[in-house]
Structure 1
Amino acid sequence: MAEEKVVYKVVATDENHEVNVESYDWNKSTQEIITFSFFGGYTTMTLPMGIIAQRFGGKRPIMLALFVNGVVCICTPWVPLVGGWVAMSASRVLQGLTQAAMFPSIHSLLAKWVPLSERGRLSTYVYTGSQAGTILAFQLSGLFAGSPVLGWPVSFWVFGTLSLICFCLLGYFGVGSPHEHPSITAEEMAFILHDGAVDVVPKKRKTPWRHILTCKAVWGLVITHAGSALAYLLILTEIPVYMNHILGVDLKRNGLYSSLPYIALFLMAIVFGNVADFLANRKLMSVVNIRRTANTIAMVLSGLFLLAFSCVHSTVLAVTLLIIALGLHAGTHVAFHINHIDLAPNFAGPIMALGNTVANLTGLLAPVIVSNIVMDDVKNHRKWQYVFIIVAVFMFITNTIYVVFAKGTVQPWNFYGEEENDAEEKEMTNKTDKQLNKKNSLQDVIR
């Protein structure tokens, strides 16, 4: 049983009063359980959420995620008071279960709304919201936590409120597909749907899992997604420990060092998106070669800079190399990350859910690799280098698999169920005609 203890720390005093901030003294294992709870819920529900997004569209699952996470986030400072670390873990599971809807649902919406000529730009604009949120969270959380007046709970209240505001905005302004938009023009509709790869009017298509699971191009992007996730989670979770013990820099306390790599990721994603569309629209490169090239930059070049990062002892040089590595990794946004839409826009949500599930399971290997190689010897530079070598090699191998099997054209099974839908529509038309004929015959008899 984990030890529960509430501690009140004096963070500021003046002549009239002192300000107390409540904190929870949990041991390391309990903290890890709470952290893992989110990823457990997220990974478990990712694939089902892809199926839900496919069936009901992307808008409603995202709204559910925003609402639940907003409410839970606002309540988080009080949750441990009610049920301790167990209640805290349960709340994190709930957040993970609902946040699993985000990527599959966003992909489902992008497939319906984004034309091929703007796929690189608009997709990166949407997904860079994640990096923008990370940068904002780093800065505001540090500001609130260090404030003698506000304290750490304010971070949860602010971000929870922002989530609920986004929920309201999406509910009021958001539309699941072009044909549902009340004021869209015929020209706009034609521009969005001109390539004919996505259903103009949503059809009840059953997800063709047999075709998806036997498609080499799908497995290519799923495997490289796993390689990308392992590298990203290593940077997100283990780099702060490495920088602290090897280079003597506490990234958690240094907002500038914490934010710079993600600022680079944000800016470079936009650059990659615009360059990809330029090359595609000018017919300078085929879609599949754009995906291959961007993925190689994001996995191979980024991996090389990550290796270089592990070999230097200068803090400034290390941070510079990390910024370049993460900036180049932004190429994934116009590589495997939107290749799902290239292959099958009608089933982009389920395919993204499949890839995201495998990627998150693979990403959990990052702390396992570190704990088995570095163990408690966190100041051993050579052991850390072994970790970076393993991750970089994994990035190189998964990129090679993607490059070999990648495709940039719509697959035939994107229209899976076309015959069933046509037969159903024909049956409905015949039924309507029979009812009209019956009604006309009855009127003739009355006359």
Structure 2
Amino acid sequence: MVDSETQDVSSQKSESKLGMRHLMALIMFLATTVSYATRVSMSVGIVAMTSNNSYGYPVFDWPRSIQDTILSSFFWGYIVLQIPAGYLAGRFGGKYLMLVSMATTGVVNLLLPIAAIKGDYMAVCACRIVMGVAQGLLYPSLHGVLGHWVPVSERSRLGTFVYAGAQLGTIIELMTSGALSASRFGWPSVFYVAGITCIVWSIVWLIVGDSTPASSRWISKKERKYIEMNSGSNELGHGKMPTPWLSILTSLPFWAILLAHSGQNLGFWTLLTELPSYMNHVLNVDIKQNGQLSALPYIAMWLLSFFFSWLADFLVNRNIIRLVTSRRIFNTIAQWGPAVALLGLSYLPAGNLSLAVIILTVTVGLNGAHYVGFMLSHIDLSPNHASTMMGFTNGIGAIFSILAPLTVSFVVEDETSADDWRKVFFISVAFYFLANLFYLLFISADVQEWNDPKPSKPIEDGEKKVEDKNTEKNPEKNTNNVGEHKF
């Protein structure tokens, strides 16, 4: 075992230079950036659509209830295809699912201004639902592609880099949508820019992107061999691999990821959708009036996520801690850190703008550690079925995203009552605490035995020799401690 470990370490060092996997990570980073920008575009665009302008663009007299319906309609569609998308990406690869997701998002954004003018808010809701359905394909597919393209030693850095695009997309949209809406091109330009960007990305992805290194035209043989030896994914191809549903659903580590994902979504969306109202009504601080203050928490999360990913890989690759220990540490930072900060914010005296913004920024910033926590655990457990598991946990997590504002509506009777709001924060704190506690107790970084399919027929002597040869080339496929023991 010592010899094989030495061999693996040397193989990792031999391909440390930039390669096709890094270009793939860059393109997928742009996918999350653009997709999240299109989600946020309506949050800013709807303000311009309901306000008078100097250029004669239509103004819609939508009450608050209609605006909230439009803003939430994206998530109605987003839930629909999560689990099917994970299954399809696991069976057939993520390339074309991602293409359909982004191209559809682009077309819908290009049509949305016309739909709003011709069909009012019902047509806008329909566009947002379709966009949600399309983007439901994206994250499960991304996870599956990452599982095949990213070696274990680079998983924290490249995985975080890809998913941190979501925060950058939010920052860009918050800072540019207002300017576009106020320009001579008006509020339609917000959606036209988003649509064109999605279409351009789709063209680049169609030419360059691939589900696996084995199907890529652009990768070198040396880099392909390096990735396949160090990612833990199977080289048989997608369509030949059945999904071990029973093994997945009876796996305690999988349930640890599911609960962590659900707790994250409830706490995070409560934080970002309801804290501005709390700060306005209770603390007398209107953070929405300042676009820079609104973007500051996202900037902190984006920057800190890179620091956390670098630190995680440094600690694991230098054998200072095991991979599973890294996942536990950073998931705790991501969930128990905001829980403590929320408690502090709930007892903050009114009118203290500086301290409120600092606490909010620290809270969201610490949450960036979840990219190297539970978000990558799907790939740790099973690179071959990461997309299926991601579709399942992201779908259930999306339900908790919708429950976040409903919880506030149910619990808060008086928006100016600090006591009512504390009940909301205590619910988020409890979910953060319990979800991460279960994760700490039951998560694993071992590649599970159900990652690779079992032979459907007895192995003949000739096949046995081929298997022995493959095992000799890639010894880590016959061990379940790739994550914990080797890295």
Do Structure 1 and Structure 2 share a fold, with TM-score over 0.5?
Answer: yes
Which residue of 2 is the match for residue 205 of structure 1? 241
| 1:324-376 Cα shifts (integer Å, max 9, x gaps) | 1111111110010000000000000010011111111122221121111213x
Q: What is the alpha-carbon distance in structure 1 between the residues aligned to residue 75 and residue 191 of structure 2?
A: 19
For residue 231 of structure 1, what is the amino acid of its counterpart? G
Report deviation, 1:169: 1.2
What is the percentage of aligned positions where both structures have the same residue?
Answer: 36
Q: Summarize the alignment of residues 18-167 of structure 1 with structure 2, pairs less than 5 Å apart.
A: 19-147=55-183, 149-167=184-202
> Pick from 416, 421, 426: which aligns with 1:384?
421
For residue 367 of structure 1, what is the amino acid of its counterpart? P
Q: What is the alpha-carbon distance in structure 2 between the residues aligned to residue 40 and residue 53 of structure 1?
A: 21
Report deviation, 1:8: 8.7
TM-score normalised by length of structure 1? 0.88
Report deviation, 1:196: 6.3
Q: What is the alpha-carbon distance in structure 2 between the residues aligned to residue 83 and residue 155 of structure 1?
A: 19
> Pick from 28, 49, 53: which aligns with 1:11?
53
Which residue of 2 is the match for residue 445 of structure 1? none
SS at match of 1:364: helix
SS at match of 1:378: coil
Are the structure 2 counterparts of residues 420 and 231 from structure 1 closer, same or farther at C-alpha, using a change threshold of 3 Å? Answer: farther
Q: Summarize the alignment of residues 412-423 of structure 1 with structure 2, pairs less than 5 Å apart.
A: 412-419=449-456
Which residue of 1 is the match for residue 399 of structure 2? 361
Q: What is the alpha-carbon distance in structure 1 between the residues aligned to residue 113 and residue 328 of structure 2?
A: 45
Report deviation, 1:407: 0.3
For residue 429 of structure 2, what is the amino acid of its counterpart? A
SS at match of 1:198: coil
Q: What is the alpha-carbon distance in structure 1 between the residues aligned to residue 127 and residue 423 of structure 2?
A: 36
Which residue of 1 is the match for residue 301 of structure 2? 265
Which residue of 1 is the match for residue 275 of structure 2? 239
CA contact (8 A) 2:58 2:117 kept: no
SS at match of 2:53: strand
CA contact (8 A) 1:9 1:22 kept: no
SS at match of 1:238: helix
Which residue of 2 is the match for residue 337 of structure 1? 375
Are the structure 2 counterparts of residues 368 and 183 from structure 1 closer, same or farther at C-alpha, using a change threshold of 3 Å? Answer: closer
Q: Summarize the alignment of residues 198-347 of structure 1 with structure 2, pairs less than 5 Å apart.
A: 198-203=233-238, 204-312=240-348, 313=350, 314-347=352-385
| 1:25-79 Cα shifts (integer Å, max 9, x gaps) | 1233333332332111111111111111112211111111111111111211111
| 1:169-215 Cα shifts (integer Å, max 9, x gaps) | 11122122111222423321222122362112414111111000000
For residue 120 of structure 1, what is the amino acid of its counterpart? S
| 1:361-411 Cα shifts (integer Å, max 9, x gaps) | 122221121111213x21222211221111011100110011111001100
SS at match of 2:284: coil
CA contact (8 A) 2:151 2:231 kept: no
Q: What is the alpha-carbon distance in structure 2 between the residues aligned to residue 383 and residue 97 of structure 1?
A: 35
Report deviation, 1:85: 2.2
Q: What is the alpha-carbon distance in structure 2 between the residues aligned to residue 8 and residue 237 of structure 1?
A: 20
Q: What is the alpha-carbon distance in structure 2 between the residues aligned to residue 125 and residue 392 of structure 1?
A: 27
Q: What is the alpha-carbon distance in structure 2 between the residues aligned to residue 201 and residue 43 of structure 1?
A: 30
> Pick from 371, 378, 402: which aligns with 2:409?
371
TM-score normalised by length of structure 2? 0.81
SS at match of 1:95: helix
CA contact (8 A) 2:148 2:231 kept: no
CA contact (8 A) 1:142 1:253 kept: no
After superposing on structure 2, the runs of 4+ consecutive aligned residues of structure 1 that deviate more than 4 Å are 7-10, 420-423
CA contact (8 A) 1:205 1:417 kept: no
CA contact (8 A) 1:135 1:263 kept: yes
| 1:257-315 Cα shifts (integer Å, max 9, x gaps) | 11110011101111111111111111111111111111111111121012212222311
Q: RMSD in angstroms over aligned alpha carbons?
A: 2.0
CA contact (8 A) 2:266 2:404 kept: yes
Alignment length (residue pairs): 412
CA contact (8 A) 1:9 1:21 kept: no
SS at match of 1:44: coil
CA contact (8 A) 2:50 2:61 kept: no
Report deviation, 1:254: 1.4
For residue 246 of structure 2, what is the amino acid of its counterpart? R
What stretches of structure 2 of length at least 5 have no aligned partner? 1-48, 467-487
| 1:2-40 Cα shifts (integer Å, max 9, x gaps) | xxxxx996533xxxxxx3231211233333332332111
Report deviation, 1:106: 0.6
Which residue of 1 is the match for residue 34 of structure 2? none
CA contact (8 A) 1:264 1:327 kept: yes
CA contact (8 A) 1:342 1:409 kept: yes
CA contact (8 A) 2:104 2:131 kept: yes
Are the structure 2 counterparts of residues 412 and 244 from structure 1 closer, same or farther at C-alpha, using a change threshold of 3 Å? Answer: same
Report deviation, 1:91: 1.2
SS at match of 1:63: helix
Q: What is the alpha-carbon distance in structure 2 between the residues aligned to residue 249 and residue 60 of structure 1?
A: 46
Are the structure 2 counterparts of residues 175 and 245 from structure 1 closer, same or farther at C-alpha, using a change threshold of 3 Å? Answer: same
